[in-house]
Each structure stands twice: as C-alpha cells, then as structure tokens.
Homo-oligomer: A and B are copies of this chain.
Amino acid sequence: MRDFVPSEKAHRDRVLGAIKATYREHGFDEIETPVMEDSSRLNAGLGGDNEKLAFGILKRGLTTADFAAATTNLDLIDMGLRFDLTVPLARFYATHRAELPTVFRSIQAAPVWRAERPQKGRYRQFVQCDIDVIGEGGLIAEVELIAATLATLDALGLEGATVRINDRRILTSMLSLFGFAPETHESALITIDKMDKVGQDGVLTELAEKGLPTDAIEAFFRRPMTMEFLPFGEAAIRKFTPEGIDIAPVKDLATIGDSLGELAERLTFDPFLVRGMGYYTGTIFEVAHPSVDYSLGGGGRYDGMIGRFLGTDVPAVGFSLGFERLVDLVEVAEGDQAQSIAIIFDADVDPKQLLEVKNQQIAAGNRTRLERRTKNLKPLLAQLDSEGFSGYALLSTDGLSEPRAFTARD
C-alpha cells in the first residue's frame, strides 16, 4: 500500500479523469459501492483464487470465549474488503435494478484490496477501472465494450493497444474434441492458462502429471502451420482451432470483428486465452500494448453471475483496466489550469495584509500559496518552480513587488 504526494495524486487524478470522460462519452455511467461487502457474498465461490486474498473485518464485541470457539477465519469476520469490482456490481445490480435503465452500462473506478505477499510491482491496495454492460445478451455489448476501451486507451496516448479475444465455449469445445471429459475441463483450463509462462511443452507435462489425455492436444500443437496472414475473422479463427469444434461461438467472434470495422485490425484471436475466473460463460478478452509485456486489463461475459444474487439470470459482460499499470505508462497534459503564484512574505508582515494580498490574487484567478521568505531564496524558488508555479511576488510591509517568472531570478 502506498501514499501519494501531491504531484503523484495530481497525475493519477488526470489519468482517471481522462478514462472516465471517454467512458462517459460512450454512454456509461459511474456508480459507487461501499469498500466492504458481507463475507458471505465475498466468499460465495465467485472470485476464484482472489477470494482467498480478501482482507477480513473482525466482528465487533467478540469475547475470548468467541475466540476460543472459532474453527475458521469465517467464524470471526462478518465483512471483508472487496477483492474486485465485479462481485459488488452484481450485488448492486440485484439491489437497484428497478432504478436502473433496462440495459445498464456502469463505470466503476475504485480501489480493491488483496492480501498479496509484498513484492515489487504488486500492491495490496490498487485501483481498477471497470465498465460493464448488464441486461444485453446480444453481441453489441461486446462491441461497445471493446470500442469504448480502445477509445479510452487512445485518449491516454496508447494508440497501439490491441485486444486478444477467445470464447469459453470454443475452449470447452476444443477440450471435448481433444478427449477431455467434461469434469476435467476446469482443471485442464487452469493448466492451459499457464501457456504464457511455461510454453506448450510445460502445459503438456503438467496435463500428463494430472493424468489427462495429451495425445490429441500434442498433435494439435505440432501440426504444420501455413504462414499466410489472415485478417481477423472466421477463416483466421478456424486456422488456429482444431477441425470439428462448435461453430456458433466462432461465428460470434467473427461478427464482433466485422462490427468493429477498422478496429478489427487491433483484434487477435488467441485459442489459449483462458482468464482465471470461473464465472465466465462466453467471450473473454485481454488488452495489451507493445510497450509492455503484461496485460493492461481484460474481461469477458458472465451471464450466470447476477442470477446468484437476483434469482433470475441477467446477461452481463465487463472489461476491467488495471489503473496502476496505466498510470505508470502514460502522460496526460495538465489542460487549462489556473496559473499558480507564490507570495513570499517578510516575517514582519501581519496576517491581515497577507490574507488581503492572497485574496486579491485568488480574485484575479491565480491559485495562490503563501511562503515565508528564507535567507537564501534560491532553494525556495527552485522548489516552487519544480512544483509548477508560474511565478512569485515578494511582499514586505512596503507592499507587493511586481510578479516575476522563475527564469528571471535575481
């Protein structure tokens, strides 16, 4: 967990503002939920491995007898800090459905918490920027999400961002063809999800260790591939999948590509994209940028999840951007800000005169900071300059000097 000093906080706010503004243009609306959720909801089996990383809130009013009687953490906690924004959104939608549009497009840009072991680049409090479309079963939901996300990354200056896409139904259809029994699919997908880290041979080894059938999948890996380039579409997807898989999700992906028009150039089909969470039911995607070797975010369709809270299934698809990764990657211009001026005052100027001068500067549209005069002005001027102040004026009991820029130091 980290503190943010003013320059960092201002940068984060500018990046967050740019993200939200683009998402708003695309018709999404921001909501907010409390940071804590009931632990029964957080531990309902929807969060995959992240559930285990949830920080638990100790119940109030417990006695030593309660402590001694507890057999698991869950006996001592009643709430926890959210580990993602999807579980809270499903709970929010179930609570507020009557107040929301039939198809609800939400923005959430808020911190989440995971009790990770401290390591470089991993934080225990970090911000996610999620957009979700709830109540739309058609592919237009995926199309809007991908278009809005790419437009947002463009607005941040990350024009080269691309989206890898797959569909859970293609994955399970492939596994069935490869001879995996349905009850082994989840275990097999956990292994296949490691392709980036361990490669094809590593995946084959781990599947064999699990006692799963590897012959067909090995043959698929080793088949001769033509090198011809195919634009994103049905032909490209068929090229990277085995013969005989379910064709409906392939046609859906092709429709998404066709609907995106020129943006389809930035889509890639990835037959081994899995995504960790068990709740995905259809399309899944991740976004990448050539300047970094990690994913900037991802998402997918989770049509069964809202039903867990509402009782009736509602289609839903979402996309989450990892804010900390974007913050480190982008520069956002400061825009039209008020100019800042420092009033450097002598020790014998009284507070009344100080406030009058400050108020005059504020009335003239200047952001104004008072600074006590130091014996050597240079370090003070250098600091003000580095903080982005546009100039300064000296105030003595005789009155205020003309404002000066830092380039014309005396």
A residues contacting B by CB (< 8 A) are 1-6, 9-10, 12-13, 24-27, 29-36, 55-58, 60, 62, 64, 67-68, 70-71, 73, 76-77, 79, 81, 92, 95-96, 99-103, 105, 111, 113, 115, 125, 138-140, 143-144, 147, 151, 255-256, 258-261, 338, 350-352, 354-356, 358-359, 362, 367-372, 374, 383, 387
Contact = CB atoms under 8 A, between A and B. Distances in A.
B95 A76 contact: no
A39 to B, nearest CB: 10
A24 B368 CA distance: 8
A3 B31 contact: yes
A3 B33 contact: yes
Contacts of A351: 138-140, 143, 255-256, 259
A199 B96 CA distance: 44
Contact of A368 (B27, B57, B76): B27
A298 to B, nearest CB: 21
25 contacts: A1-B36, A4-B33, A6-B29, A9-B32, A13-B30, A26-B367, A27-B370, A35-B35, A36-B55, A56-B57, A57-B57, A58-B77, A60-B115, A64-B70, A67-B67, A67-B76, A68-B68, A101-B383, A102-B374, A103-B371, A255-B351, A260-B352, A260-B355, A261-B355, A261-B356
Contacts of A140: 351, 354-355, 370
Contact of A362 (B10, B25, B57, B355): B25
Nearest 10 CB-CB pairings of A with B: A27-B369, A1-B34, A6-B29, A259-B351, A259-B352, A56-B58, A4-B32, A140-B351, A67-B70, A68-B68
A2 B56 contact: no
A362 B22 CA distance: 10
Residue among A76, A99, A260, A261 with most chain B CB within 10 A? A76
Contacts of A56: 57-58
B6 A31 contact: yes
A77 B13 CA distance: 32
B26 A6 contact: no
Given A1-B36, A9-B29, 18 more contacts: A4-B31, A12-B32, A26-B367, A27-B370, A35-B35, A35-B113, A36-B113, A57-B57, A57-B81, A58-B73, A58-B76, A101-B371, A102-B372, A103-B371, A138-B351, A140-B351, A143-B351, A261-B356
